[in-house]
């Protein structure tokens, strides 16, 4: 809204600052932090008054029972701190912003319903797993279909390259900088990390269909988007088990995705780094600034010892946002590196459950690989203090974040 007001008052010189993504991103961080810290305290007090607290099972973890009654559903604070600043400073007609706002609200609603059932209906199981998956599948379909049909979601490249590869050209123009014709094309191209001049087109999987591969690419692309959205969203949910753990990890990941969105949406940076130039994605920097500010602001209350938990309202939303933006800026193949901590947490659960079932079937008694899963509880069982586990997971995430950014130059 402030962006459009600035356009109306453009004769005032300082209002032109709103034309710059970096300026609006800075404002977004400030607004998000203020909303989180100012309204967060009021929301916590209201939740305490309503006795909306966490119900904790005794799992034999140090300090666990002390968390009994701590307010949950704090993800509402995160969602507010993302959406309100975004509405204030982002270009709301940008298709990428529209999709990210939709993803935030959609996953937030699913998480809220889950928390509501747990807290108010006193059903510890919460929302049925199949309904959670259904919600994630629907979001994946929306994102995938929009990327395939919306003419504002394009890749800009040399016209000759576009024609040679048979891409659908939406528009083209002469470029003085490139000394040639430039095309904006519809394609399912994505960046391949670590390798120079390598892009992967999902339609290649259907190469046996020949010229018809492009028409049926949705058969491959949409299921892949669904898998990414579901996997990352659930991984963030599993990681949310210690004070500040998921919040801090997601904040670091969000900062890197904001940088990747900036270079992908900046023609000079994209050309220099030899990555796909995606017109319009620069606006996602503003959204990710809101995301970063919301996470850091929530840490004001969620750091050890936590005054509030984000609940599924927050964790499913954070994971959904990370997955959605990674797909939109075509960096989804970097997720195993950037989201390595989330991946480790998920794998620890999968390994634990699979091995337990296998040994129970073979030996009649289930055995475990970890003392407890997800992985952060394994370290708790070893006697490591909660704050130390969280800090070390943050450090590992920072290392993976740096490695992710280095891949831009390695290419």
Token pair, residue 13, equals: 């010189």
Higher confidence at residue 394 or residue 179? 394
Concatenating the DSSP letter of every residue in 292-341 gives HHHHHHHHHHHSSSPS---HHHHHHHHHHHHHHHHHHTT-GGGHHHHTHH
Nearest CA-CA partner of 38 in 81, 68, 101: 81
Whether 327 shows a pLDDT value over 60: the answer reads yes
Tell me the pLDDT tens digit for each residue of 280-323: 999 999 999 999 999 999 999 999 888 899 999 999 999 999 99
- Which of 256-260, 273-277, 381-385 tops mean pLDDT? 256-260
Under 8 Å between Cβ of 325 and 261: yes
**Helices (DSSP H) in 203-244: which residue ranges?**
218-239
Unique residue bearing structure tokens 């993803």: 103
Where in the chain are the domains? 2-410
Mean pLDDT score, 50-70: 64
Q: Judging by beta carbons within 10 Å of its beta carbon (0-12, 13-18, 19+), is residue 298 exposed, middle or buried?
A: buried
Tell me the pLDDT tens digit for each residue of 90-119: 999 999 999 999 999 999 999 999 998 988
Distance CA 367, CA 364 (A): 10
Determine the pLDDT at residue 51: 67
Tell me the pLDDT tens digit for each residue of 5-17: 666 666 666 567 7
Question: What is the pLDDT of the chain when averaged over all its residues?
Answer: 89
Higher confidence at residue 120 or residue 249? 249
* Segments of 139-245 assigned E as strands: 155-158, 168-175, 180-186, 189-191, 199-201
H-run or E-run covering 253: helix 245-264
Answer whether 0.95 is exceeded by the pTM: no
């Amino acid at each position: 809204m402030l962006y459009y007001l600035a356009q109306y008052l453009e004769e005032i010189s300082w209002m032109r600052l709103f034309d710059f993504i970096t300026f609006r991103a800075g404002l977004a961080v400030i607004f998000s932090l203020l909303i989180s810290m100012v309204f967060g305290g009021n929301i916590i007090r209201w939740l305490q008054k309503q006795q909306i607290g966490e119900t904790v099972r005794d799992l034999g973890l140090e300090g666990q029972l002390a968390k009994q009654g701590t307010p949950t559903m704090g993800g509402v604070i995160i969602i507010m701190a993302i959406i309100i600043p975004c509405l204030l400073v982002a270009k709301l007609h940008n298709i990428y912003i529209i999709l990210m706002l939709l993803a935030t609200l959609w996953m937030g609603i699913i998480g809220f319903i889950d928390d509501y059932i747990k807290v108010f209906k006193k059903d510890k199981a919460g929302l049925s797993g199949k309904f959670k998956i259904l919600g994630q599948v629907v979001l994946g379909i929306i994102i995938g279909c929009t990327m395939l049909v919306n003419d504002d979601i394009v890749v800009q490249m040399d016209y000759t390259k576009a024609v040679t590869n048979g891409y659908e050209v939406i528009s083209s123009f002469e470029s003085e900088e490139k000394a040639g014709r430039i095309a904006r094309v519809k394609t399912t191209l994505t960046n391949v990390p670590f390798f120079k001049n390598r892009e992967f087109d999902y339609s290649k999987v259907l190469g046996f269909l020949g010229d018809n591969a492009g028409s049926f690419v949705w058969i491959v692309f949409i299921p892949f988007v669904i898998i990414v959205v579901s996997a990352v969203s659930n991984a963030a949910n599993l990681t949310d088990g210690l004070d500040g753990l998921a919040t801090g990890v997601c904040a670091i990941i969000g900062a890197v995705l904001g940088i990747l969105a900036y270079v992908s949406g900046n023609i000079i940076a994209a050309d220099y780094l030899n990555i796909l130039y995606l017109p319009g994605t620069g606006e996602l920097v503003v959204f990710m600034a809101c995301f970063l500010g919301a996470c850091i602001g929530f840490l004001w209350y969620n750091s050890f010892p936590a005054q509030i938990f984000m609940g599924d309202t927050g964790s499913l939303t954070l994971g959904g946002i990370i997955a959605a933006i990674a797909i939109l800026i075509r960096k989804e193949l970097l997720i195993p590196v950037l989201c390595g901590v989330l991946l480790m947490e998920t794998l620890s659960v999968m390994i634990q459950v699979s091995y337990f079932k296998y040994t129970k079937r073979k030996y009649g008694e289930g055995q475990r690989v970890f003392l407890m899963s997800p992985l952060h509880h394994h370290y708790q069982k070893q006697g490591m203090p909660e704050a130390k586990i969280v800090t070390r997971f943050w450090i590992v995430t920072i290392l993976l974040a740096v490695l992710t950014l280095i891949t831009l130059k390695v290419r």
